[in-house]
């Protein structure tokens, strides 16, 4: 336990919290490896099946599938989060990974003759799994942490722990990129998908046994609520967000900024990479190089973020973070001034005594790739700082009773905001190219930061849950404590009061 406490920065924390931190430290990296193995070629595999061997022709049919996935996730994100508040996060997460297992297995069966409607169903199932998984990990740990460690009033210790968890996740994600591509090269892509399916089943079963709440948290849902109570949880989360100006502007601003990340990941990322890098292995190699500095930034972000006052620095960090305004402006400039060259000699590094390439880099695109690498490295710290500082001020502003639903509502908002952007920017990219799309994403992110800055001017609510009331930080004068009926010492599950 001492080693766990020292690594996660959880000094003087009770053994129960150290055990939960250890669970997060084991399972989140396992999840990272499981989902990362196929990320480099997942979209290309489906696109090749749709295009009868040509992924370029198949990309035109990928867009509607992504919209289906995002639409299903958006529709179910908040309701499934409320179910998590209703029955507990372990059931929600376990079910999510069962659905992920089904998705990976079905993808492994996709061929050139697979009906398009089956792919629609596969992407819809993945949307359901994404909806159930989103917010559940954080809600489970945060609910228990607030009960067990009330003395960490400014949540600096909590921030260090989050940084270390992020570092572990980043390390495993980094180490999984190239092995995933190599396994696909040796055994085939379908074999990798089937391996992921098996790992998801193992994770789903394990979570039922290891994801346990403290007695105080279990007591808040010891009497299983009725369906009517579930409806009240569903409504109270939205009301709580809309009625509180601090949360309203901070959450909506953060999600508007995050919507640009969704556009980047679904519309820009892989097409841009393939323009500069040309092959699967080259993309995986470059992504690995990009992830390595991220490991260090995640590891120190929790510790270094303690030096910064959240209300002052969160907007500043959001401006210069990865997938922030400055980031998109630099990438737009790169694409405009240094367009990719298709006539390039590949610099390759092979596994000793084999013909299996580990690293491939096109020599003619070295300069723009170097600038891209430097941009990622220089901005990677600030997103971690902003995330941890935001979580430090939000953890005590949300009642445990609606925490999972609130955490799930946030990605739902981001997805809703991203879908029209994907449609619009996809059209702009086809007409004007990537530069205008990248600059537009940066402008959207900047508007989100303006909203966050406005939200920071309002008092921050501080709720008191099943443990002793949590006092606001001395640095955050003007914060107003709010005690909800659902967070009294002996909560009444039938009470629908939300504020």
pLDDT at 41 over 80: yes
pLDDT at 341 over 50: yes
Query: What is the pLDDT, as a whole number, of residue 292?
Result: 75
Q: Which residues of 70-83 are buried (b: 16+ CB within 10 A; e: fewer)?
A: bbbbbbbbbbbbbb
Whole-angstrom distance, CA of residue 40 vs CA of residue 285: 10
Whole-angstrom distance, CA of residue 158 vs CA of residue 165: 11
Over residues 256-275, the mean pLDDT reads: 83
Query: What is the pLDDT, as a whole number, of residue 231?
Result: 60
Q: Which residues partner with 463 through β-bridges?
A: 482
**H/E element, 265:** none
Query: What is the pLDDT, as a whole number, of residue 122?
Result: 94
3-state DSSP assignment of residue 17: helix
Alpha-helix runs per DSSP H in 305-433: 310-320, 325-337, 366-394, 403-432
Whole-angstrom distance, CA of residue 252 vs CA of residue 444: 12
pLDDT at 358 over 70: no
More confident residue, 138 or 69: 69
Whole-angstrom distance, CA of residue 302 vs CA of residue 412: 26
Whole-angstrom distance, CA of residue 384 vs CA of residue 401: 27
pLDDT at 224 over 80: no
Whole-angstrom distance, CA of residue 25 vs CA of residue 50: 38
Over residues 348-352, the mean pLDDT reads: 73
Over residues 114-128, the mean pLDDT reads: 93
Query: What is the pLDDT, as a whole number, of residue 430?
Result: 66
pLDDT at 216 over 80: no
- Give the pLDDT band of residue 311 (cuts 50, 70, 90): confident
Query: What is the pLDDT, as a whole number, of residue 105?
Result: 95
Percent of the chain residues past pLDDT 70, beyond the cut: 75
Whose structure tokens read 């995002």?
70
Q: Based on C-alpha coordinates, what's the Rg of the chain?
A: 23
pLDDT at 96 over 80: yes
Whole-angstrom distance, CA of residue 287 vs CA of residue 268: 15
- Give the pLDDT band of residue 56 (cuts 50, 70, 90): low
With contact defined as beta carbons under 8 Å apart, do 406 and 156 qualify?
no
User: For the chain, how long is the longest CA-to-CA vector?
Assistant: 70
What is the set of domains in the chain, with CATH numbers?
2-487 (1.20.1250.20)
pLDDT at 423 over 70: yes
How big is the CA angle at 253 (ends 252 and 254), to the nearest 5 degrees?
90
What average pLDDT does the chain have? 76
Looking at mean pLDDT, say which of 33-42, 205-214, 325-334 comes out highest. Answer: 325-334
Residue 56: Cβ-neighbour burial (10 angstroms; 0-12, 13-18, 19+):
exposed
With contact defined as beta carbons under 8 Å apart, do 166 and 384 qualify?
yes
pLDDT at 198 over 90: yes
DSSP symbols for 38-68? TTTTHHHHHHHHHTTT-HHHHHHHHHHHHHH
Identify which of 70, 207, 202 has the alpha carbon closest to the alpha carbon of residue 128.
Answer: 70
Looking at 20-34, 109-123, 475-489, which range is the least confident one? 475-489
Q: Which two tokens stand for residue 202?
A: 């193992």
- Give the pLDDT band of residue 109 (cuts 50, 70, 90): very high
Query: What is the pLDDT, as a whole number, of residue 491?
Result: 30
Query: What is the pLDDT, as a whole number, of residue 486?
Result: 31
More confident residue, 315 or 14: 315
C-alpha dihedral, 414 to 440 to 332 to 290, nearest 10°: 0
Over residues 15-31, the mean pLDDT reads: 78
DSSP symbols for 443-475? HHHHHHHHHHHHHTTSPPEEE--SSSPPPPPTT
- Give the pLDDT band of residue 215 (cuts 50, 70, 90): low
Residue 494: Cβ-neighbour burial (10 angstroms; 0-12, 13-18, 19+):
exposed
With contact defined as beta carbons under 8 Å apart, do 286 and 273 qualify?
yes
Identify which of 89, 82, 90 has the alpha carbon closest to the alpha carbon of residue 229.
Answer: 82
CA distances from 339 to 32, 290, 429 (A): 32, 20, 14
Each residue's pLDDT tens digit, 126-181: 999 988 887 777 777 777 777 666 666 666 677 677 777 777 777 787 778 778 87
Interhelix angle for 156-187 vs 280-304, to 10°?
Answer: 170
């Amino acid at each position: 336990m001492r080693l766990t406490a020292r690594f996660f920065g959880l000094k003087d924390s009770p053994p129960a919290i150290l055990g939960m931190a250890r669970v997060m430290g084991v399972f989140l990296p396992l999840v990272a490896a499981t989902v990362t193995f196929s990320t480099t070629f997942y979209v290309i595999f489906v696109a090749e099946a749709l295009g009868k061997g040509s992924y370029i022709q198949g990309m035109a049919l990928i867009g509607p599938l992504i919209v289906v996935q995002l639409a299903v996730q958006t529709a179910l994100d908040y309701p499934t989060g409320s179910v998590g508040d209703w029955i507990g996060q372990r059931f929600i997460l376990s079910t999510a990974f069962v659905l992920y297992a089904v998705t990976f297995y079905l993808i492994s069966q996709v061929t050139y003759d697979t009906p398009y409607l089956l792919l629609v169903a596969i992407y819809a199932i993945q949307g359901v799994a994404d909806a159930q998984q989103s917010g559940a990990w954080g809600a489970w740990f945060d609910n228990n942490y607030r009960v067990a460690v009330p003395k960490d009033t400014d949540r600096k210790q909590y921030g260090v722990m989050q940084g270390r968890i992020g570092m572990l996740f980043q390390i495993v994600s980094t180490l999984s990129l190239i092995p995933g591509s190599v396994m696909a090269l040796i055994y085939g892509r379908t074999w990798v998908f089937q391996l992921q399916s098996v790992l998801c089943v193992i994770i789903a079963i394990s979570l039922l046994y290891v994801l346990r709440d403290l007695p105080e948290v279990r007591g808040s849902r010891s009497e299983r609520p009725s369906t009517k109570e579930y409806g009240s949880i569903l409504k109270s989360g939205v009301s709580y967000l809309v009625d509180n100006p601090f949360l309203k502007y901070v959450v909506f601003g953060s999600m508007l900024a995050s919507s640009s990340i969704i556009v980047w990941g679904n519309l820009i990322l892989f097409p841009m990479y393939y323009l500069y890098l040309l092959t699967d292995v080259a993309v995986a190699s470059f992504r690995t190089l990009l992830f390595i500095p991220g490991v260090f930034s995640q590891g120190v972000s929790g510790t270094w973020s303690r030096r910064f006052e959240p209300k002052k620095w969160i907007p500043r960090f959001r401006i210069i973070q990865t997938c922030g305004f400055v980031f998109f402006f630099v990438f737009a400039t790169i694409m405009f001034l240094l367009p990719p060259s298709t006539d390039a000699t590949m610099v390759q590094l092979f596994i000793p005594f084999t013909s299996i390439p580990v690293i491939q880099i096109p020599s003619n695109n070295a300069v723009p790739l170097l600038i891209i690498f430097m941009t990622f490295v220089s901005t990677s710290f600030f997103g971690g700082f902003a995330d941890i500082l935001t979580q430090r001020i939000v953890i005590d502003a949300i009642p445990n009773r609606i925490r999972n639903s609130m955490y799930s509502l946030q990605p739902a908002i981001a997805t809703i905001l991203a879908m029209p952007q994907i449609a619009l920017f996809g059209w702009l990219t086809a007409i004007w190219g990537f530069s205008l799309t990248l600059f537009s994403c940066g402008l959207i992110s900047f508007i989100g930061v303006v909203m966050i800055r406005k939200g920071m001017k309002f008092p921050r609510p501080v709720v008191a849950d099943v443990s002793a009331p949590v006092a606001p930080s001395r640095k955050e004068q003007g914060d107003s404590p709010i005690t909800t009926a659902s967070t009294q010492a002996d909560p009444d599950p039938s009470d629908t009061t939300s504020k």
